[in-house]
Structure 1
Amino acid sequence: MTSSVTRPPGQAADKSESAPSDALHTGTSDVRQLLTRNLRQSGIYVAFVAIIALFAVLTDGVSLSPGNITNVLLQYSYILILAIGMVIVIVSGHIDLSVGSVVALTGATSAVLVIQHGMPWTVGVLAAIGVGLLVGLWQGFWVAYVGIPAFIVTLAGMLLFRGLTLQVLDNISLSPFPPDYQRMANGFLNGLLGGYGYDTFTLVIGALAVVGYAVSGFRTRVARIRYQQPVESFPLFVARVVGVGAVVMAFAWQLAHARGLPIVLIVLAVLILAYGITMKQSVFGRQVYAIGGNLSAAQLSGVNVKKVTFWIFVNMGVLSGVAGVIYSSRSNGAQPAAGNMFELDAIAAAFIGGAAVTGGVGTVVGAMVGGLIMAVMSNGMQLMGVDQSIQAVVKGLVLLLAVAFDVYNKRRAGAAR
């Protein structure tokens, strides 16, 4: 979402606004300004790397083993899917407390159709997503058009959909799913290009991802220069691309030495790419940021707030259905207590990843990093044999500190004005 800078009368333009040449050759002060402006997002990446390194040391490298990295991705994939929808809800200034119950309900629906009634696994998948869509329509109507706060609507939904889950399953667990259904969350693509003790296909996909990231970053840089916006120096840009590329290829190398490319990673990549583009480049994405940033201004600008809010919750319902399919596939069944506390993990991922409690701030990529931080912490503590109660304490403190950091930044920015 683009924004304009308004200066008090008589205040001179700064260097980044005075001439195109200044935008082309950003000085040290401009780079410092860029880093300060994006401190929250930049800091989360540094924290992510630091946490990975910490648990690598504490677990004697076990946390970075190919098998463990694959397991982390599989075990937390459904939380990352929920985090994509949750960060959009939070950016708009709302919250959704019902997603865990919706995951349980959609998984139960799929299990009843596929396991009990013997229908094809594709029918179960479509039915689960369809139920998620209906849930989104239901909650979106009450929030957007009736005007009930999302906290109340989704709190009611958390109870309502959990009760419906118990009714659908008749208070019993159902398993197992057929192999094709299980493959969605537990399957791998490997051996497609041959290999020499590792999966070549996974490395090729990793390399293509790095190239795509570099091209996208370069195009964004050129566009910012064209509009005379401050950019990082070219050496710093190259260093960032090389750093990200090294991390991605190291990750791909580990996967290639395990079981290959997880199918669920492809699903995640498609969702991240689609929603990242939507939030950054589409009218809908800009409207979501506008509503969360300043509701009154968005209304005065002609944004149909009710319509956008309605579709935000519809989208959250659909993604909850997708997460329900992945979770039931991963667990090879449906249980009445499935999805318990998933909403808190998704909310924590969004806030740790940079979303603001007041709305208007947050990115899909940031939510993914926040979710991965929670995943790495949970996995690392499990490998160390840390008690579950201590794990909960640590997660709670991390979430509290992330939100406190956001509040501190806002107060500092307000004082600077």
Structure 2
Amino acid sequence: MDFIKEAKQLLRENIREYGMYIALAVIMIIFTIGSGGLFISSRNISNLINQTGYIAVLSVGMTLVIVIRHIDLSVGYVAGFLGALIAILLTKYGTPVPVAILVALILGLLIGLFNGYLIANVGIPAFVATLAGMLVFRGALLLATEGTGTIIIPNKSFNAIGNGYIPDIANIKGVHLLTLLIGACAIVFYIYSEYKTRKNKLKYNFEVISKPMFILKLVFISSIIGYVTWILSGYNGLSWTVVIVIIVVAVYHIITTKTSLGRHIYAVGGNPEAAKLSGIDVSKITLIVFGSMGLLAALSGILYTARLQSATTTAGTLFELDAIAAAYVGGVSAAGGVGKVTGSIVGALVMSSLINGMNLMGVGISYQYIIRGAVLAAAVIFDVKTRNKSK
């Protein structure tokens, strides 16, 4: 009884964090039943995760932007334009792939820094500054593609970024061994990091969950990691897109949870005036966050262009809204100061799962938009209600 009581209390106190995982599980169960098991097949899960990649990368950056109480509407067309730029560099000028990618990433960083400068130093509201950027880069994308409409990229090395899979270390039919080994290493690392964190908390007399609950948590998360890697190993294994997303999430998770920069970002989001009085350079933090957003927009454009193997006139359309939705569904607060990059990835998976599952079940596009809007509204309502309760 004590165990059940503790579980209920833990869920109640951490409902913001656990709510999105529960939502994802419910969505997956519904669509698995509704599609006769097709939704949970190795091929579909692999495609679903790969399709989520470019939005997941954007949502990581958007989470930090919303955490510091701003918004960036330009990222969609920045991604589309830089994807088109790479296509031009590769096809028209024969630029080596690493050089073309580096150029796009540097330009994305500079664009983000310029947005940050307009907001932090000039004092233009983020909504207005990035709306102007959205229109500018929409026009730039149309200019870049006006000659052909669609720029086909025949470069196999570049296209492998969006469509390729990591090589295997053994030729076993039906199983990608390297993916399973990576999954096993991820489980070991997760258990070790959780054990180390718990040990440190106990050392300094911080409150921790009971040992049975801690073990249950380890088993549950490890089972999910193992199951996902097993599913992926049944269809070509881990893609390069997934590897890139994992690296991005790992880097940003470390920055936001283990560094002074991360603490300053959340301090600025929680109370900009108090942060400024405590010696934090709010303008500098704004520049860094928007520069990061521009860099991730460039990476998103690379992933999307490589997946399509072409640059199109419509690339980037509504990317920013999908990223904002993923961030909110993933637990970021509209009031700022609250949100995790890992949550944004779950939010991106929730939104992608909705689209994928509804397509498998033959739901009309009009109803899809209505349902996606309702989910986003529910996420924001949930944020407001839980925030009010915590006060």
Alignment map for 1:237-256 (pairs within 5 Å) = 237-256=214-233
Which among 141, 158, 161 is matched to residue 184 of structure 1? Answer: 161
Map of 1:411 onto structure 2: 388
> How far apart are 1:229 and its partner, in Å?
2.0
Question: Does residue 72 of structure 1 match 2:48?
Answer: yes
Question: Does residue 343 of structure 1 match 2:320?
Answer: yes
Question: Does residue 221 of structure 1 match 2:198?
Answer: yes
Map of 1:275 onto structure 2: 252
> How far apart are 1:195 and its partner, in Å?
2.2
**Local SS of the residue matching 1:261:** coil
Query: Structure 1, unaligned stretches of length 5 or more?
Result: 1-25
> How far apart are 1:245 and its partner, in Å?
1.1
Question: Does residue 50 of structure 1 match 2:26?
Answer: yes
Alignment map for 1:18-37 (pairs within 5 Å) = 34-37=10-13
TM-score, normalised with respect to structure 2: 0.96
C-alpha spacing 1:157/1:352, structure 2 compared with 1 (3 Å) = same
Counterpart CA distance in 2 for 1:182 and 1:41 is: 36
Letter of the 1:103 partner, please give it.
A
After superposing the two structures, state which structure 1 stretch, 214-223 or 366-375, moved more: 214-223
- CA deviation digits over 1:163-218, x for unaligned, max 9? 11122223622112310010011001133233253111110001111111111111
Question: Does residue 118 of structure 1 match 2:100?
Answer: no
Question: Does residue 98 of structure 1 match 2:77?
Answer: no
Letter of the 1:214 partner, please give it.
I
Which among 54, 67, 84 is matched to residue 108 of structure 1? Answer: 84
Matched pairs, number: 389
**Local SS of the residue matching 1:334:** strand
After superposing the two structures, state which structure 1 stretch, 313-322 or 259-268, moved more: 259-268
**Local SS of the residue matching 1:317:** helix
CA contact (8 A) 2:161 2:240 kept: yes
After superposing the two structures, state which structure 1 stretch, 236-245 or 218-227, moved more: 218-227
Question: Does residue 261 of structure 1 match 2:238?
Answer: yes
CA contact (8 A) 1:177 1:329 kept: no
Counterpart CA distance in 2 for 1:51 and 1:238 is: 26
> How far apart are 1:324 and its partner, in Å?
0.5
CA contact (8 A) 2:90 2:153 kept: no
Letter of the 1:121 partner, please give it.
V
TM-score, normalised with respect to structure 1: 0.90
Runs (4 or more) in structure 1 with deviation over 4 Å come to 26-34
Q: For the pair shown, which has the larger CA radius of gyration, 1 or 2?
A: 1
C-alpha spacing 1:298/1:29, structure 2 compared with 1 (3 Å) = farther
**Local SS of the residue matching 1:96:** coil
Counterpart CA distance in 2 for 1:361 and 1:209 is: 26
Map of 1:235 onto structure 2: 212
Question: Does residue 61 of structure 1 match 2:37?
Answer: yes
**Local SS of the residue matching 1:354:** coil
Which among 334, 339, 349 is matched to residue 362 of structure 1? Answer: 339
Question: Does residue 144 of structure 1 match 2:136?
Answer: no
Map of 1:387 onto structure 2: 364
Provide the aligned C-alpha RMSD in A. 1.6
Query: Structure 2, unaligned stretches of length 5 or more?
Result: none
Of all paired residues, the percent bearing the same amino acid is 39
**Local SS of the residue matching 1:174:** strand
- CA deviation digits over 1:346-401, x for unaligned, max 9? 00111001000010000011111111011111100011111111111100000000
